[in-house]
Structures are given as structure tokens and as C-alpha cells.
Amino acid sequence: MQKSPSNIHNFHHTPSPFLFPLLKSHITIFLQHSKTNNSSERERVPGGPRERNQNQNQTMSKETSEIGETTARKDYVDPPPAPIFDTAELTLWSFYRALIAEFIATLLFLYITVATVIGYKNQADPCGGVGLLGVAWAFGDMIFILVYCTAGISGGHINPAVTFGLFLARKVSLIRAVTYIVAQCLGAICGVGLVKAFMKSPYNSLGGGANTVAPGYNKGTALGAEIIGTFMLVYTVFSATDPKRSARDPHVIILAPLPIGFAVFMVHLATIPITGTGINPARSLGAAVIFNDKKVWDDHWIFWVGPFVGAVAAQAYHEYVLRASVMKAWDSFWSNPTD
């Protein structure tokens, strides 16, 4: 049967009952997709609303951080100075624990280092043992280790010159300074005594690791070497433990034992040929007491005067030049005149 033209016309133009829902669904999906893309493009456009908000938040965060950092630096206040006489310390276990730590640390320091010196002098082949570099490294490395171990207990002084410098800076009281020095000297004597007990024959024949002015140098030269060497050490101690630097750079105080140990190492390289390197009155006293030689005692004053003068110079340089205490006091005086 042949279809009429009208039927043919109706066949081509009459929509299927499924066409409208399907078309509506596709149009809806397309419009939603277009809207999402346009929104994403607007958010990604440089300078768009989202980027402007992010930039504003980052700027505000950065400004807040900078303001907070500046405020923290401006608000820094040095810790209060230690009292000259603090008898309350004598009632604290932490005080006696610190004394024990200083005693043991100095004992270990002298035992290891003086034994290294005796071994170096006793070796048959100068190139077959530790050598001068090894001796210097033994002193520096032991200071690094012992300061690291005792810093949180006693401060890790292990040296009367360091203790004296910190006392001048009002970091420790007079009572603590005196008792620290006594503990350090006793520890040094015991440490060298152990070396003599274990290595008696080479100890007696090879100078006992005692400090003396080397042949070819006079006492003035030796004194100058001790002053400069101790200045280097104590200056490093002040710089590495400066609380102002620690507030700004917290890693500084953690790394403090490292530069202190390296300072001792470098000073030994420079001054071993002149004095055997003292820069530590306890170290010199311990070796002098156990070896007990007239030449050693004749030169012994150099190893107290030199380190103490060097400590005074380092403390003054750090406090009045680097920290500018004099200029700050002068500016404060003129900015706040009194009648």
C-alpha cells in the first residue's frame, strides 16, 4: 500500500515521544558544563576575583609575619644578669650536679688529650702516628664532645678562662665561677694523674704534656700567644651562645659546640710550637702538678695571666663593641635627659 503525501509529510515532521526529554537533558548538561568552564576560566584569569583574593590573603599573611618578626626583634630583652653573690645556689642539687659535670668533663678532657700528646711524642716515626694535626684535633674534638654533653647541665665551660669571661659578662655568679674553677682544676689534676698511672715511663721521659715556653721563644712571645689564643676561644664562646642571636636564629645555640671545638683546634695548630698551647689554666695546672718540674713552674704564670687577659679582652670586645653597650647607654642618656 502506497503512503499518501500527507502521510509522508506527517512521518518526517512529527517528533518522536522520546525526542523532547532527551534533547532537554542534553541542553541542560551543556549549559551546566558551559557555566562551570566559564567560572573556572574566570577564577584562573590573572587578576580575577579568586586570584585577587588569594593575593590579598598572601600579602596580609606576609605583612603579618613581617610585622610579627619585627616586633619580636624589637621586643627582645637581654636576660637579667646573674647576681654577684647567690647563696641560694648552695641549696640546689642542680648546682652540685653542675660541679660534678665540670669535674668529670675536665678529667676526661685532660686524660684523652695528654695521653694523645704522650703517644705523639713516643712514636718512632713522625709520619706514622697522629702527628701535630692529630694532637690539635684531639683537643678540639674533645671540647666539641664535652661541651655538647654538658652544656645543658653546667654550661660546658671546662676552662677557667671561659668561666672567668662569663663571670665578667654576669652570666654566672661569683660563687658559681669560683667553684667551677676549683672543680675544673681538680678534674684536670685527676685526668693527668690517670695518664701518668697508665703510661708512667713515657710520661716521665717525654715532658708529661706540660706547657712550657719552647726553645727559640721568649716569655713575652709566649704570653702574647696565650692572650690571642684565649681571646679567639672566648670570643667564639660569646658569639656561639649569644642569646640575641639565639632568639633570631634558634639553630645557633644548637650548633654552639661545633665552632667552639673548631676554635680550640685552630688555636692549637697555631700555638703548639710556641707554648704547647695552654689557653686553659686548668689544663696547664693539671700537667704542672703531676709532672712537677722546675722549668714548668717557672713558666706557669704565663698560662694563667695570658688566658685571663684574653678572656677579659674577648668579653669587652663582645659586650662593648659588637653589642655596642657603651653606645646604647650613651644614646639612652641623651634621649632621656634628667634634671
The 8-class DSSP code of residue 82 comes to P
Of the candidates 135, 162, 158, the residue with the CA atom closest to the CA atom of residue 273:
135
pLDDT in tens, 204-225: 999 999 999 999 999 999 999 9
CA angle at residue 263 from 173 to 221, to 5 degrees? Answer: 90
Using CA of residue 50, residue 51, residue 52, residue 58, what is the dihedral sign?
A: positive
pLDDT, tens only, 33-61: 555 555 544 444 444 444 445 554 554 44
Provide the pLDDT for residue 76.
66
Per residue in 250-288, pLDDT (tens digit) is: 777 788 999 999 999 999 999 999 999 999 999 999 999
**What integer pLDDT is reported at residue 328 of this predicted model?**
58
Does residue 238 register a pLDDT over 50?
A: yes
C-alpha grid cell for residue 249?
A: 636564629
Give the separation between CA 135 and CA 128, rounded to whole angstroms: 13
Grid cell listed for 188: 684536670
Burial 117-147 (b: 16+ CB within 10 A, else e): bbbbbeeeeeeeeeeeeebbbbbbbbbbbbb
Question: Could you report how far apart the first and last alpha carbons of the chain are, in Å?
Answer: 128
Binned at pLDDT 50, 70 and 90, residue 156 comes out as: very high
Q: What is the mean pLDDT of the chain?
A: 82
Estimate to the nearest angstrom the gap between the alpha carbon of 53 and the chain centroid. Answer: 42
pLDDT for residue 330 is more than 60 = no
Q: What is the mean pLDDT of residues 245-249?
A: 72
| Sign of the CA dihedral running 101, 196, 113, 180 | positive
The pLDDT of residue 251 is 72
3-state secondary structure of 236: helix
State residue 253's pLDDT score: 76
Predicted confidence (pLDDT) per residue in 85-135, tens digit: 888 999 999 999 999 999 999 999 999 999 999 999 988 776 677 889 999
Dig out the grid coordinates for 229 from the structure. 689564643
Q: What's the average model confidence in pLDDT over 178-202?
A: 97
| Res. 190: pLDDT tops 50 | yes
Please compute the mean of the pLDDT values over residues 296-323 and round it to a whole number: 95
Mean pLDDT across the stretch 138-161? 96
Convert the pLDDT of each residue in 58-83 to its tens digit.
544 444 444 444 444 445 677 788 89
245 vs 34, higher pLDDT: 245
- At 326, the pLDDT band (50, 70, 90 cuts) reads low
- Distance between CA atoms of 126 and 167, rounded to whole angstroms? 42
pLDDT > 70 in the chain, percent: 71
Cβ contact 325:242 at 8 Å: no
Report which DSSP code applies to 284.
H
Cβ count within 10 A of residue 241: 19
Q: Closest Cα to residue 245, out of 78, 117, 81?
A: 78
227, 310 Cβ separation under 8 angstroms? yes
